[in-house]
Amino acid sequence: MNPFLGKSLDGLSLDDRWKLAGFWMATELYSPQRLPLRIMQAIGLDAADCIRQLRAAGADPELYEYTPIPQPYRP
């Protein structure tokens, strides 16, 4: 199991953000009716990898958005 699943990208340390840079994450789509937490539900090499993980977990991939994880800012 990935130790970053269930965590918010914004709450991770700089070191952890660098570890995840270049991967993709799946987070629940925003809806005013549900107001989902912005936590990572899947992390993969691409969006298709995240979709496979969500399906394996029994989740509907259409309820998620897929975003590449950027490199954190370094001054």
* CA 18 – CA 27 distance, rounded (Å): 19
- Of residues 35 and 38, the one with the higher pLDDT is 38
In this predicted structure, what is the pLDDT of residue 1?
72
* Domain containing residue 36: 9-68
First CA to last CA distance, the chain: 32
In this predicted structure, what is the pLDDT of residue 30?
84
Q: How confident is the model at residue 37 (pLDDT cuts 50, 70, 90)?
A: confident
Whether residue 39 lies inside any domain: the answer is: yes
pLDDT tens-digit series, residues 46-75 = 999 999 999 999 999 999 999 999 998 766
Residues 2 and 54 sit within 8 Å (Cβ to Cβ): no
E-strand spans in 1-75?
24-28, 42-44, 64-68
Domain count, the chain: 1
Whether residue 2 lies inside any domain: the answer is: no
